[in-house]
Structure 1
Amino acid sequence: MSSHGQVQGFALIEVLVSVVVLAIGVLGASAMQLVALRVRHESLMLTSAAQMASGMAERMRANPGQIAPVYLTLDYDAHAEPAPAMPDSHCWSAACDSAAIAAADMYDLKRQVATQLPAGRVRICRDAGMWDTGQLRWACAGGPGAPVVIKIGWRGKNPDGTAAKDTDGAYAPGVALRIAGDAP
């Protein structure tokens, strides 16, 4: 005590309030770090999926005669088939016809999806209404004149941790790339 009867120093209550405020700040910073990690991971997967779709689009443009008979049959779900079946030929060391090249292209894309995306999925189809519901979806609504679309996605999560699903109750695609110059 001082000579005037005042207490000097901090009261226990003031110290406890300071510790609580500090703890709330540390928890907030930790939560922001977790969100940043999740967003970074999601961004990495989106980038990978966009690169896969772009690469496949280039392969399809190089082999346009196989779009309808071969490429449009691709609907691969790595969750259901973790290891894609290998084609008869990879066309690396032997000459191949355009159908074998298309089969090798599809195998390479399936392998990339299976190894780079968590329970990934890829679908190539004709879809005139990719955004009709306001969100990408796996269902394809298109006839012979509809644009060819490459859809790639994975079993992602919303920011609140719930499964990211589309209006059909399936995991929504993350990327959809329309191939310009719609080939047959």
Structure 2
Amino acid sequence: MTSAEPFSVQRGFTLLEVLVALFVLGFGLLALAAVQLRTYSTTREAEYQSIAALHAEGLAEAMRANPKRTGVASEPWQWSHYVESTPGSAATAPSQTCSNYDATTQAFGSGSQNCNQNQVAAYDLYLFKSRLESAFPQAQEVKATVCPTNDLSVAPTLSALACDVSGALAIKIVWRAKIGREVNRQMSGDANASATRQMFYQVRFSP
């Protein structure tokens, strides 16, 4: 008497199961792509902030090296010569290139002619702005200034740098960066957001 072989049933995937699996996989890949875009945008914004902080600190050091008095010895040092009449104006090369420091006269000079404190301030601002314009990768517009500011919680923009008539000085940098329309929509919550986003950095000047 012979025993019968056990009958094995092999069952494959149905078309519906395959479609559901592909849908789940595709949804997961889309979510992963969105996370990667957001991570890229956050990384780029952190890079911009680091660049802005570095250049702002460089200007602050230059300002500390060039204080000014009106002539009264007891008067405290001040830095009003760094405040522009038109905040955020484009970088324009000054008439005096104050890049040579003369240890004998203790002054910066352009060739054989020494620069006064106002000319040094103008040259410092020119270097600050011109370096910023080339420092930001993929930035479409950059504005920077030094101006009195009472409230640093007010965000500066390219159209309004939030300067006041009086108050402690602040260094402000505003730029427009290309981050992608979808990423900007997620970050701003605006369904009509463009592919660019305004960002800013501002810090109180500390003598």
* Residues 1:149 and 2:170 aligned together: yes
Contact 1:128 1:142 in 2 (8 A): no
Which of 86, 99, 106 in structure 1 is aligned with 2:125? Answer: 106
Aligned positions of 1:1-184 closer than 5 A = 3=7, 8-65=11-68, 67-68=79-80, 70-73=81-84, 75-77=87-89, 81=90, 84-93=91-100, 94=111, 95-117=114-136, 118=139, 119-131=141-153, 135-137=154-156, 138-143=161-166, 146-156=167-177, 158=184, 159-160=187-188, 162=193, 171=198, 174-181=200-207
Deviation at 1:153, TM superposition (A): 1.4
Q: Which structure dedicates a bigger proportion of its chain to strand?
A: 2
Contact 1:110 1:122 in 2 (8 A): yes
Paired with 1:100 and 1:58, the residues of 2 have a C-alpha distance of 16
Deviation at 1:3, TM superposition (A): 4.8
Q: Please report the RMSD computed on the Cα atoms of aligned residues, expressed in angstroms.
A: 2.6
Contact 1:149 1:177 in 2 (8 A): yes
Paired with 1:92 and 1:142, the residues of 2 have a C-alpha distance of 31
Amino acid at match of 1:21: V
Question: Greater relative contact order: 1 or 2 (C-alpha under 8 angstroms, separation 6 or more)?
Answer: 1
Paired with 1:122 and 1:85, the residues of 2 have a C-alpha distance of 13
The runs of 4+ residues in structure 1 deviating greater than 6 Å are none
Deviation at 1:23, TM superposition (A): 1.0
Deviation at 1:150, TM superposition (A): 0.7
Amino acid at match of 1:63: N
Give the TM-score taking structure 1 as reference length: 0.76
Larger Rg: 2
Give the TM-score taking structure 2 as reference length: 0.68
Give me the identity figure in percent. Answer: 28
Amino acid at match of 1:116: A
Gaps of 5+ in 1: 166-170
The superposition leaves residues 15-35 of structure 1 with CA deviations (integer Å, 9 ceiling, x where unpaired) of 111111111111111111111
Paired with 1:142 and 1:106, the residues of 2 have a C-alpha distance of 20
SS in 1 for 2:202: strand
Match of 2:3 in 1: none
Paired with 1:46 and 1:111, the residues of 2 have a C-alpha distance of 17
Contact 1:129 1:142 in 2 (8 A): no
Deviation at 1:92, TM superposition (A): 2.5
Amino acid at match of 2:88: Y
Deviation at 1:154, TM superposition (A): 0.7
